[in-house]
Structure 1
Amino acid sequence: MAVPVLDSAGKLLARYDVLISDVWGVVHDGVWALPPACEALTRYREQGGAVVLLSNAPSPSEQVADLLDKKRVPREAWDRLITSGDVTRALIAESHHRKIFHIGWQSDRAVFDHADVELVFEDEADLVVATELNDYRTEQPEQYRPLLERFAARGLPFICGNPDLVVHVGHDLLPCAGSLALIYEELGGSVAYAGKPYRPAYDLALEAARSARGGHPVDPAKVLVIGDAVRTDLAGARLMGFDSLFIAGGIHRDETMRDGVLDPAGLEAVLAGSSVKPIAAMGALR
């Protein structure tokens, strides 16, 4: 059965109490906010709904909130924000490891602030945390294979601070830490994923939704996940038993969009290899 393609999401959104929305590819394009999406979320909140932004960004939520301000995403469009950085902090605390080798940008190191950990060189590490590639604009994941082979040979646990494989930055498609995690698993290493589509991220999102609703419980049947990635957003919704709305003009846009219009054949092809089926699809949230 074909997935319905919507021009406007208003009637669909009104059926739910809580929206758990992806950020990059739905609310902004990596450079600037997407005004129709922000307006849709703002109107939904004005009608009494709660919006939790759930991002695989590896930075803590307070840092990402400032970034959203700079990208001109209005605070009126969301109630709460949960990031992979928040989940990474929790996983590090649970691991009881204290000597960390970090792969990622210097700015990502905010996840280690106020934690009882030490960032060390390769030979001293007992835990690897990857938030990004060190420079995802110039590097490729395979360049890290020799390093990852050495860590896997030592049996070091690996926390992936951003399970996304790739992300659009404007018109560029660039690799994320999830691509390093796949290599590490291929090498026989153990990976803990801090973000979608894994349950710890959604547990935090539901806690945030309850808070936004004044402590009232959240009915899973009244939660809609909005996202642009089959592997993370749609799969996470399915894991949690939530409905999902697929935004085809995000990470899969080269496969699903033709001249700015959602191509049903492209949509079907993207979803064909997955057991995950959204209840509807749009080129962009509006």
Structure 2
Amino acid sequence: MTDLIPSLASISGDYDAIFCDLWGCLHNGQTPFPAAVAALRAFRAHGKTVLLLTNSPRPKSSVIAQLARIGVPTDAWDEIVSSGDATQYALLSGVIGTRIHHIGAAKDETFFTDLPADAPSLAITRVPLAEAEGVVCTGLKDDLTETPDDYRATLLMMKARGLTMLCANPDLIVDLGERRLYCAGALAQAYTEMGGTALYYGKPHPPIYDLARRRLAALTGQDDARILAIGDGIATDVQGGIGEGIDTLFVTAGIAAPEFGPDPARPDPARLRAWLDAQQLSPTHAIPFLA
């Protein structure tokens, strides 16, 4: 049964490292959550390691820049691994060819320009959809105004040509302040529903965890750390952690908050249990907000 806890400090002694989600746990896309920052700082103060594990489609360097822009302090974390990082390795391994069409916003261009030094060396050519061997989706071109319905014709053309989509962010939605936006995962879901093929390398899929473990081991010099995965995505953070044999801490006040009652700070335990039962997932712990 999931244990509803008051604070990270109440269980931190059981763990050496944290894999912490960003959006919905540490910030809302616009400002950091002070209590979450303080909790991660306190965890690190005991000689433990915080690795930020995000389904952002952009590489680590862009995630660092975003965190700095919205005011997340650098002393709240040790390392970052993004879905964009893991997806870049896949792209540069040739899993969908070399002639690539991109679906995504201009802000995602670093996916193609800021490449990991240890990735395979493969020349990627960006081409129109009619000339593509495969498609990389980092998100909607304008997630403030568009929905997956705006991409139906594009997805149908991809399906007709038998193209595989490499989805750089498995998340379906994200909350930007008080506004809910669609992510790349929503397009990948629509594509698979019409019979297309989409490949994923972010949470809850193994490649991002493999990369996170490698970076954690490089940072700490150990490969047997006791890890806690923290996140507000039941189908990404929690499902991924459980699949990796990692204890999980579910943040209830994130994207699923309305399911647990009118006050996000006081989730109804009965509603939480019923909802988790319906999801057929049982996180090790739950907490209203990361604190």
The aligned residue for residue 118 of structure 2 is none
The aligned residue for residue 63 of structure 1 is 62
| Alpha-carbon distance in 2 for matches of 1:68, 1:33 | 8
Shift in Å, 1:257: 4.6
The aligned residue for residue 49 of structure 1 is 48
The aligned residue for residue 207 of structure 1 is 214
2:213–2:223 CA contact under 8 A, matched in 1: no
- Helix, strand or coil: the match of 2:91? helix
Unaligned runs of 5+ in 1: none
Q: Give every structure 1 segment of 4 or more consecutive aligned residues whose post-TM-superposition deviation is greater than 4 Å.
A: none
How many residues were matched structurally? 282
| Alpha-carbon distance in 2 for matches of 1:265, 1:135 | 39
- The Cα offsets for residues 95-134 of structure 1, whole Å up to 9 and x where unpaired, read as 2511111111112011111562121111111111110111
- Helix, strand or coil: the match of 1:94? coil
Deviates more, 1:253-262 or 1:79-88: 253-262
Equivalent residues in 2 for 1:1-286, closer than 5 Å: 1=1, 3-95=2-94, 97-113=97-113, 116-213=123-220, 215-219=221-225, 222-260=226-264, 261-286=266-291
Unaligned runs of 5+ in 2: 116-121
User: Structure 1 pair 270/30, CA: closer, same or farther in 2 (3 Å)?
Assistant: farther
Deviates more, 1:35-44 or 1:95-104: 95-104
TM-score, length of structure 2 as denominator length: 0.93
| Alpha-carbon distance in 2 for matches of 1:240, 1:102 | 30
| Alpha-carbon distance in 2 for matches of 1:280, 1:253 | 16
- Helix, strand or coil: the match of 2:92? helix
- The Cα offsets for residues 138-165 of structure 1, whole Å up to 9 and x where unpaired, read as 1111221221111112111110010000
- The Cα offsets for residues 217-243 of structure 1, whole Å up to 9 and x where unpaired, read as 224xx1110000001000100110001
Identity %: 38
* Cα-Cα RMSD: 1.4
| Alpha-carbon distance in 2 for matches of 1:121, 1:265 | 51
TM-score, length of structure 1 as denominator length: 0.95
